[in-house]
Structure 1
Amino acid sequence: MDSGKWRISPKKQRGLTLVLVTAAMLALVGVAALSIDVNHAMLNKTRLQNSVDAAALAAAIVLDNGGSTTEAAAAAKTTLINIGGATGNDEMDFTSAQIVVQFSNDPAIFPFSGFNSDDDGYARVAVSGYQLDNFFAHILNVTKNLSSSAVAGPSPSNTLVTNVVPIAVCEGEDAGTNGYNQGDLYALKLADQNQSEMGPGNYQLLDFGSGASTVREALAGGYKGAIDITEPVITKPGNTIGPVGQGLNTRFDDYSGGGLSDTDYPSDIYVREPVKPAKLDNDGNITYLDTSGSGGGAWGYSDYLAALPDCSGDSDCRIDSGGEENRRVLVIPVVDCSSASGGTSAFNVTALACFFMLQSAPTSNSGKEAVFGEFIEDCTVSGGVPGQNSNSDGPYRIVLYRDPNGEES
């Protein structure tokens, strides 16, 4: 053996291997432990951003409804507190975090001086110093502090709307949206011109084109055009009761008369009607004595929703035959009838209202029955598009904007 060469004994090799394996295992355990904290932080970052988004939207809605900046700031903070107290969000505790709520008339400028409540208002909510519990990160002297922000405010106006039926209702007298109360029943198309606030000759129909077939198809949902609600709508005098009923009743899987088909105009997914239909007396008052709804109340939109999304097994269900959900929801212009004089008239649109069509429409005028709808909501904003410069007239919605001072929102 060459005595000038060194060799490491097998025993010493085993000792070195043990050291290397131990070091590798410690490194792997450390990475695995740290990954728990990283994943925890990433999960809560998303939850924090969602919470801040909701708070900014809440503040912007208060501003849009005429509230003060103080009220809007309170709404934002209340939203965060309520999210933290919700089931499954026990860790979302904002008591130790710093919450800043700012307001601007320009979504691209925060902070903003000279805020004017008469102009479009935008809210920015920023949360910083949001501290999370550590699992193993403290070993490396790492503190998990998160921050997030969001900006919300009105979108630009969108004046062109589609999916509107050629029926209009005058601004109501109730205390709700545009004079209509959610859940209440209203006459959408009258059979007696003397009951219409639009003046003699009008039955609340709009002129989307002449001819019975045009009226029939438009009320079945076949009007493909868009209307500009900043422009007046024109009434269509005359009852036209047959085509009106034939078009509307396709939504109830009724294709008798008119030549319309379920291929072009599918029915609603659920076509049930109340056991006792609503009636309109000579004075224009609605009588609705049905008790077939939930809890013995009058059957309506809430019962319709309760039957969805799967009403299989119910004789009024049209899932298997291609029925479409919400075909019974009608988008109807709400107009200012203060200048009504009768005949062909032009009325300004003040909003769009969504009504749930309660029952089939009459196809003859023998009983002078109306078309009835339950008011669901103001659906003016359903076509809004996020952007800026929403001061122009027209519908809009409250949306989220990119925060000029943030990286994620």
Structure 2
Amino acid sequence: MRKLTRAFRRGEEGQAAIIVALAMAVLLGFAALSVDVGYFMWEKRALQNAADAAALAGALELPESPYWAEEAAQGYAYRNGVGQNGWTLERVDVSTDRTSIAVSVAHPQSPFILARVLDLVGVDVRASAQAAVRSPYRLDNVMPWMLRRSVYETTPNGQKVNLKYDARDPERGNFGPLAIGGRGANVYRANIRDGATVELESYYDTEPGNMVGPTHAGLQDRLSQESQECDSFEEVVKEEPSGTWRIVGGCNPWLPGGEGNRRLVVVPIIDDAGLAGRTQVQVIGLALVFLEDFECSGGHQCTVQARLVKAVAALEGPEIRLGPYNPAVGIRSISLIQ
């Protein structure tokens, strides 16, 4: 009887050892699998970062140059590891309307390392991104002057335009000023100093009269706050080899740290219809300009000139609203949409 009991116990111990061994094998397998899955998740994030960077770089060149958009996207993809260690660039496509670009990258059959003990070989790891050009339809930092559509459409990038005319320019009492948020010299001067907020398709009254004193005072107030690092056109605007113009981040007035740039502003675009007295006009576009020269010495003399800028810029702020790309808006932004 004792021999039978000892034999039975040895049998139980043997079965327990087998169960423990099997459990250990399963646990080791799961541990190996979890390590590999963690690596695949890291690789997925890295591929996603590469796809995001490539799509954003490509979108900078849109809509003017689809060719340069694809070149830039490919360059940024390879700069971020694509083409190495099994990573491949699967797709770079510009949309038919030239306002967005899609990028796909992958590591086909990314190999398992520890989980090979489970007879697992590899898994496809992929990432994709799409970036689009967007235009603001509501924007702050707007000056109370107007630019005619014909001037905006025919003036080359970087050339000067007149925003405020002197009284010798005949337009029946209208010399460029707009009444944004109210009428009168005080509101007009404050809008020059601080900038106003304007939305596309809104209506505003013209502000008749030469407004010599308020124009001079408003510009003096505004430019007294500018930084020396952002007071010239060359410091603020850079032209890429592809021909795309962009706003330098440290001098972007719509980003934190760019408040010292007091010359890069927006002016409403209006139709070319004649103006007489106090006339209501509709904002049909928004032009980005760099304030250059002004002379308001009294009497009839009061002019303001600026350089027209059609450029890419990051836009942040509670007053800003972005919509689809609009060629009537001279400033555009890019963002990931997928």
The TM tier, using the shorter chain, reads 0.5 to 0.7
Q: Counterparts in 2 of 1:289-328, with a 5 A limit? A: 301-302=236-237, 308=250, 324-328=259-263
Cα distance change, pair 367–87 in 1 and its aligned pair in 2 (3 A): farther
Matched, 1:141 2:120: yes
State the Cα deviation string for residues 284-333 of structure 1 (Å, max 9, x = none): xxxxxxxxx7xxxx866349x88947xxxxxxxxx9xx993433322101
Q: Which has the higher strand share?
A: 2
Question: Contact between 2:290 and 2:309, CA under 8 Å: does it hold in 1?
Answer: yes
Out of 267, 279, 285, the position equivalent to 1:351 is: 285
Which residue in 2 is equivalent to 1:83?
Answer: 76
Shift of 1:242: 1.1
1:365 corresponds in structure 2 to: 298
Instruction: Return the match for 1:43 from 26, 42, 45.
Output: 45
Query: Which amino acid in 2 is paired with 1:328?
Result: R
Tell me the SS of whatever aligns to 2:216.
Answer: helix
Q: Deviations over 1:130-149 (max 9, x none)?
A: 52643617824342313445
Alignment partner of 2:158 out of 180, 183, 195: 183
Q: Supply the distance in 1 between the matched residues of 2:248 and 2:137 (Cα, whole angstroms).
A: 33
Residue 241 of structure 2 is matched in structure 1 by: none
The one-letter amino acid of 1:218's match is N
- Name the CA distance, whole Å, in 1 between partners of 2:237 and 2:150: 22
The answer (yes or no) to whether the contact 1:362–1:369 under 8 Å persists in 2 is yes
Asked whether the equivalents of residues 37 and 134 of structure 1 are also in contact (C-alpha less than 8 Å), the reply is no
**Which residue is equivalent to 1:230?**
201
Q: Matches of 1:3 and 1:376 in 2, distance apart?
A: 100
1:314-365 C-alpha deviation (Å, 9 max, x unpaired): xxxxx9xx9934333221012233x325544454534211222336x54532
Per-residue CA shift, 1:13-49, capped at 9, x if unaligned?
Answer: xx99xx8999699658735752563244322342365
Give the match for residue 110 of structure 1.
none
Instruction: Name 1:245's counterpart in structure 2.
Output: 216
Q: How far apart, in 2, do the equivalents of 1:400 and 1:371 lie?
A: 34
Q: Distance in 2 between matches of 1:248 and 1:306?
A: 23
Read off the aligned partner of 2:108 and give its amino acid letter: Q
1:331 aligns with 2:247: no
TM-score (norm. length: structure 1):
0.54
- Which residue number in structure 2 is paired with residue 215 of structure 1? 188
Q: Secondary structure in 2 aligned to 1:178?
A: helix
Structure 2 counterpart of 1:206, which letter?
L
C-alpha separation in 1, matches of 2:47 and 2:218: 51
- Distance in 2, matches of 1:122 and 1:377, equals 16
1:165 aligned residue = 143
- Rounded Cα–Cα distance in structure 2 between residues aligned with 1:76 and 1:400: 14
- Report the TM-score when normalising by structure 2: 0.63
Whichever residue aligns with residue 324 of structure 1, its letter is E
Q: Return the structure number with greater helix share.
A: 2
Cα offsets for 1:144-203 (capped at 9, x unmatched): 313445566687x97555442211122455xxx63343333333223x233x5x724222
With over 3 angstroms needed to count, the CA separation of the structure-2 counterparts of 1:143 and 1:3, relative to structure 1, is closer
Contact 1:216-1:243 within 8 A present in 2 as well: yes
How far apart are the structure 1 equivalents of 2:144 and 2:290? 15
Task: Report SS of the residue matched to 1:85.
Answer: helix
Do 2:51 and 2:105's aligned partners in 1 also have CA atoms closer than 8 Å?
Answer: no
Question: Paired residue for 1:258?
Answer: none
Write the letter of the residue equivalent to 1:364: S
Q: 1:300 to 1:181 in 2, by over 3 A?
A: farther
- SS of 2:178's partner is coil
- Distance, in Å, in 2 between the alignment partners of 1:82 and 1:397 is 22
Contact 1:56–1:151 under 8 Å retained in 2: no
Alignment correspondent of 1:290: none
Cα distance 1:42–1:347, how it changes in 2: closer, same or farther (>3 A)?
same
Number of residue pairs the alignment of both structures matches:
313
Report if the CA contact (8 A) 2:55-2:101 is conserved: no
8 Å CA contact 1:386, 1:399 repeated in 2: no
What are the ranges of 5 or more consecutive residues in structure 1 without an aligned counterpart?
Answer: 104-116, 254-266, 275-292, 310-318, 403-408
Distance 1:242 1:55 in 2: 45
Query: Partners in 1 of 2:309 and 2:185 — Cα distance?
Result: 29
Distance verdict in 2 for CA 1:330–1:398, change over 3 Å? closer
Question: Runs of 5+ in structure 2 lacking a partner?
Answer: 239-246
Q: How does 1:50-199 map to 2 (within 5 A)?
A: 50=52, 53-54=55-56, 61-62=62-63, 78=71, 80-86=73-79, 88-91=81-84, 93-94=87-88, 97=90, 99=91, 125=102, 127=104, 130-131=107-108, 133-134=110-111, 136=113, 139=116, 140-149=119-128, 161-171=139-149, 178-190=153-165, 192-194=166-168, 196=169, 199=171
